[in-house]
Chain A
Amino acid sequence: MIGELMRIQFLRRLLVTNKAILFAICLGATFTFLSPVFLTETNIFDELQQVSVMLIVALGFTFVLGAAEIDLSIGGIVGLVGVIMGKLMVGGGVPVWLAVIIGLLCGAGCGAFNATIISQIQIPPFVVTLATGSLFTGLLYILTNLIPVSNLPNSFDDIGMGYVGPIPVPVFIVIPLILVAYVGAKKSVFGRYVVGLGASPQVVHAAGVNVKRVRLGVYVVSGLACAAASVVLTALSASAQVSAGSDLLLDVIAAVVIGGTPLFGGKMDIVGTVFGCLIIEMINNGLNLLGVSSNYQIISEGLVILLALTMDVQSTKFLANLGKRQVRASRLAEKAEMSQRAG
């Protein structure tokens, strides 16, 4: 009985906290089996380099979803910040470090702009961020006249294309950001307020928390994350492209949800987000390595994401059953213990 209880508890812990990890391991094992180059050092580091942009945006987006908000302007912010930095460095002769700081501030500003409109004018976030996404994209079109900004300084390009030994520089940017996001989400008061806001905004408000301030923080975090991602993306592309970031939104949402943060808020899973991003990247990478036709890749990506979400739902049901078994097992264990004492 005790053995079964312990087995159930272990399974429950494994599935509750590590669903995305399990799926990532299964996916990685599958591609390793199918492609001899999947698990090579070069490919692993290439994947980490490629996933860095989506991962940084997804870290910020986890806070947004955790608070039951939505930010559809992430693509626009990524593109706009890239162009601003590019124009400053190339046209304005601004040093790289200053251009990056200004870019980060612009990203935070875009996030603050979103939060202000949502809070002050009381328009749903879906509508506001859809509109501001167009606004940011339009601004970048006007700034560039649709011509990409190239000939960026080599020192800036090294942020994306440089290596420390075999490890790409973006990895060294992503790791501290993951740690900061984890501490912010799990260990800080702000993180608790975000989760509370997503779970029950009325309770948070009744507890005297300034909801508008929490929302501002959430969108500023998202904007900062987009700006940081833009630094990496622009450096990786060695140019500020007009369409940069335009294809990020759906992948980021899928990654965060697969990672365990619910679409309707109330929970944040930073570790899950990391593995959710790795899952999305492994799908793209693995299918490219296997030479799957683009037409079938689109279907395959959709099917794998559906499978991940189905496994998530099924494991939740399984967990509920496990819970019942756990209760039964512990009652039986108690009865057995009482009988033993009586005997």
Chain B
Amino acid sequence: MATATKRGVARLLTAAMVVASGVSMLATTFAPGTAQAAAKVATAKQSISIAQIFDTIDSSRQAEITTENSVIAQFNATHPQYNVTLTTYNPQLDVQTQISDMETALLKKPSVILFVPVNTTGSLAAVKLAKKAGVPVINQDPTTPESSLYTASFQVADEQLYAQGTVNYIKAYLAAHPSVVLHMGLIFGAPTNQPTLVRESAIQALAKEMPGRIKIEATAFGNWLTATAQSLSQDWLEAHPDINFISCANDIMATGAANAVKLAKMEGKVQVSGYDLTPAGLQRVQAGTEAVDVGAVNAEYGWVIDAAIEVALGTYKGAPGWTGNAFNNKEVYEVTKANVNKMVGLANALTIPFAWPLSL
């Protein structure tokens, strides 16, 4: 009897739960005022959804995303008629994953896509999908010539300018020290990350122009890892005692190179250079253990949101800051001990106001 009662109560409870779920679902769908409320929200705010597909998300990209979210928050607050949202994707330097991320992004029907290709040619397959779906794509790492698949391009600073920053430092150093010959070790990023290879290959080109002043003793891929760059640097300092400059394609690897120089007790004798203006990199420049750190100020990467809004609304043509379909800021900073104290504040700023009036 007791078991039958228990079973009966259980069945009653189950039925009650099913009925309650059904009623609440019907209520939310058909309740008077709900549809009207939704329509009111839709007309009150114009939705601009931005999908951002990176090549990979590391600490620099994470800082960019933080900046972009700040720009979006400011924009939504000052423009209540718009609702801008951002979704990011991380293909981890894999072309196939990037294509898959594009497919996922397109399912959500974004207004515009920001795209950092893993591979200049391989990643075009992803861009083709967006073009087929009629979604504009902004290339955040454009090359020359640029593919016609992209609607527009945005550059805070291109890789050529990045490389030029280190090259400028080297030229200035050699001019100031006429008797010095630089024996260099070059640590590239990852072989699959083609656009960034120029950061070190530009130095190889400079070495060919100045064969009596620059000798490339060793090159290798560091795969953006501190430990790998540290091992490489340790081995090179042993194999090539003349090495007096190790150039790394980013500050994370420069950490490893600086550690190796410290372990070899060669601080002051071997210079290290890096990219990206990370807090650790700028700290090393202040301490004198990194000779030059080249990069764009993170806050200026937030301007990509302004560019994306203009492309989403179709107002970018002829808008200030644009040259045809290219938005190119061309701001690159070469940070040395001479200017690092001025740069720290700028490098740590979360947002910098857009340099031009936004076209809406």
A residues near B (Cβ < 8 Å) are 35, 37, 40, 42-43, 46, 49-50, 53, 145-148, 150-151, 161, 233, 236-239, 241-244, 246-247, 284-285, 288-291, 293-295, 297
Contacts and interface: CB of A to CB of B under 8 A. Distances in A.
Interface in B195-254: 217-221, 223-228, 230-232, 234-236, 238-239, 252
A53 B252 CA distance: 19
A35 to B, nearest CB: 7
B220 to A, nearest CB: 5
Nearest to A295: B191
A162 to B, nearest CB: 10
A148 B230 CA distance: 16
A40 B66 CA distance: 48
B62 A161 contact: no
Interface residues of B, number: 37
B225 A247 contact: yes
A147 B256 contact: no
Contact of A46 (B226, B238, B259, B283): B238
B57 interface: yes
Interface of B: 57-59, 61-63, 66, 188, 191, 217-221, 223-228, 230-232, 234-236, 238-239, 252, 255-256, 259, 262-263, 279-280, 283
A289 B231 CA distance: 11
A289 B280 CA distance: 29
B227 A244 contact: yes
A71 to B, nearest CB: 20
Contact of A145 (B62, B220, B256): B62
A157 to B, nearest CB: 9
A284 B231 contact: yes
A146 B60 CA distance: 8
Q: Give me the 10 closest cross-chain CB pairs, A-B, nearest first.
A: A288-B235, A146-B62, A289-B239, A294-B221, A294-B220, A146-B59, A241-B226, A150-B280, A147-B59, A237-B226
Given A53-B227, A294-B188, A295-B191, 15 more contacts: A37-B239, A46-B238, A147-B59, A147-B63, A148-B255, A148-B280, A236-B227, A242-B58, A244-B226, A247-B228, A288-B218, A288-B236, A288-B239, A289-B239, A291-B239
Contacts of A241: 225-227, 252, 255
8 contacts: A37-B238, A46-B238, A146-B59, A237-B259, A242-B59, A243-B226, A291-B239, A294-B220
B220 A237 contact: no
A291 B224 contact: no
Nearest to B224: A243
Given A35-B239, A289-B235, A146 B57 contact: yes
A291 B235 CA distance: 10
A50 B283 CA distance: 26
A239 B279 CA distance: 13
Nearest to B262: A161
Contacts of B283: 150-151
Given A239-B255, A239-B280, A50 B263 contact: no
Contacts of B255: 148, 150, 237-239, 241
B231 A50 contact: yes
Contacts of A294: 188, 191, 219-221
Nearest to B228: A247
A90 B279 CA distance: 15
B257 to A, nearest CB: 11
A43 B238 contact: yes
A246 B59 CA distance: 16
A239 B223 contact: no
Given A238-B255, A239-B255, A148 B231 contact: no
B219 A293 contact: yes
B283 to A, nearest CB: 7
A217 B177 CA distance: 61
A50 B226 CA distance: 13
Contacts of B263: 49, 161
A16 B105 CA distance: 57
A126 to B, nearest CB: 21
Contacts of A285: 231, 235
Contact of B238 (A42, A148, A236): A42
Contacts of B238: 37, 40, 42-43, 46, 289
Contacts of B226: 148, 237, 239, 241, 243-244
